[in-house]
Amino acid sequence: MLQFVQQLVNGLSIGSIYALMAVGYSLVYSIMNFSNFAHGSVIMLGAYFGFFAMRLLGLPFAVAVLVAAAGTALVAVVLERLAYKPLRDRKAPFLYFIITAMGASIFIDNFVIATIGPTPKMYPDVFGQGPIILGDIAIGRVDLAMFAISAVCLAALIVFIDHTRLGKAIQATAYNMKASALMGINPSFVIILVFAIGGALAGIAGVLYGMKYQVFPQIGAITLKSFIAAVFGGLGSLPGALLGALLLGLIETFVSGYLSTQYRDLIAFIILIAMLVVRPSGIMGKSSEDKA
């Protein structure tokens, strides 16, 4: 029982950070119908932004998180303008978007390797050493921070999407871009907005991920798991991305805890594939005719 609760806590912690990353994939997919594979590289940049803000500029953690979020939001929007907008203007098939995203990702990763170097870097210690003991359960301080910060960000995102005019405009545009334009909603504006939001969350996720592990140029590839979580939950659905990410986090930690770490990814991927066979649109994904 004790181990169960312990794994549950760990799973929620890693799941919450997957969620923070996954919503970026999902938001962009919901509007533009393609998977932005450069998102992982933006997360990686966020980890570096936060690291340099703290190490070089000596900024406090909270400010560093904001700096990273602002930086990655900007990067995401610039990426959209430079890489995807020209494709949109030419009404290019979605495959071109995916290839462009992969190209952008390779470019960013190698740019970081060439300029900053491949050596992993450590964040300064912010939360102190040693786990927090609650009864018989030990919670890592960084894990707790990851969960708390992710939860606050995700809650804010949900309130924004469900209860503000701009949030509704995003939902409307996701459902039907032409119809939203008929309401006077500028599609370009909505696209910039989702890249900025996804980018800002990517930055925060990058900082948290970098704190839990280390900062290195391949973080982006690892965050591909959050993409899997988004697919699992249903690409394009925000609640789906949250649910998929939490489930993936829990599956991973339970497999690691009860079976073996080596089986972790194997089983996670088997579940993913089984899911896609049974329900290709994911747990809460929109069916293909909704997007027609």
Partner 1 sequence: MSMLEVRDLHVSYGGIRALKGVSLRVEEGEIVTIIGANGAGKSTLLNAISGFLKPGNGEVTFKGGKIGMKASKIVKAGICHVPEGRLIFANLSVEDNLRLGAYLRNDRKKIAADLERVYELFPRLRERMKQLSGTLSGGEQQMLAMGRALMTDGDLVLLDEPSLGLAPLLVKTVFDIIVEFRGLGKTILLVEQNAYKALRIADRAYVLEQGHIVKTGVAREIAEDPAIKAAYLGAKSTPVT
List of residues contacting partner 1 (CB under 8 A): 165, 168-169, 171-172, 174-176, 178-187, 286, 290
Burial class, 288, CB count within 10 angstroms (exposed 0-12 / middle 13-18 / buried 19+): exposed
b/e sequence 184-216, b meaning 16+ C-beta within 10 Å? ebebeebbbbbbbbbbbbbbbbbbbbbbbeebb
Q: Using CA atoms, how far apart are residues 63 and 72, in angstroms rounded to an integer?
A: 14
Which lies closer to partner 1 via its Cβ, residue 61 or residue 175? 175
Minimum separation from the CB atom of position 176 to partner 1 (A): 6
Minimum distance from residue 168 beta carbon to partner 1 (Å):
6
3 state SS of 284: coil
- What's the closest the beta carbon of residue 109 comes to partner 1, in angstroms? 36
The secondary element (H helix, E strand) that includes residue 202 is helix 187-212
Nearer to partner 1, 3 or 186 (CB): 186
Distant-in-sequence, close-in-space partners of 187: CB < 8 Å, separation ≥ 6: 173, 177, 180, 181
Cβ atoms 209, 43 nearer than 8 A? yes
Instruction: Supply the minimum distance, in Å, between the C-beta of residue 165 and partner 1.
Output: 7
To the nearest whole angstrom, how small is the minimum distance from the Cβ of residue 100 to partner 1? 25
Which CB atom, from 90 or from 178, has the smaller least distance to partner 1?
178
Residue number with CB closer to partner 1 (89 or 129)? 89
82's CB contacts (< 8 A; 6+ apart) are none
Which of residues 1 and 292 has its CB atom nearest to partner 1 in the complex? Answer: 292
Give the span between the Cα atoms of 167 and 189, in whole angstroms.
12
Q: Give CA–CA dist 236/72, Å, rounded.
A: 21
Q: State which residue, 203 or 236, has the beta carbon closest to partner 1.
A: 236
**Whole-number minimum distance, CB 185 to partner 1, in Å?**
6
Encoded amino acid at 160, one letter:
F
138, two tokens: 């030990």
CB 32 → partner 1: shortest distance, Å? 17
Cβ proximity to partner 1, 185 vs 205, nearer residue: 185
Pick 171 or 214: Cβ nearer partner 1: 171
Distance CA 6, CA 253 (A): 10
Least Å from the CB of residue 241 to partner 1: 15
User: Tokens standing for 72?
Assistant: 């990655």
DSSP secondary-structure letter at 290? G
Tokens 């509704």 identify what position?
168
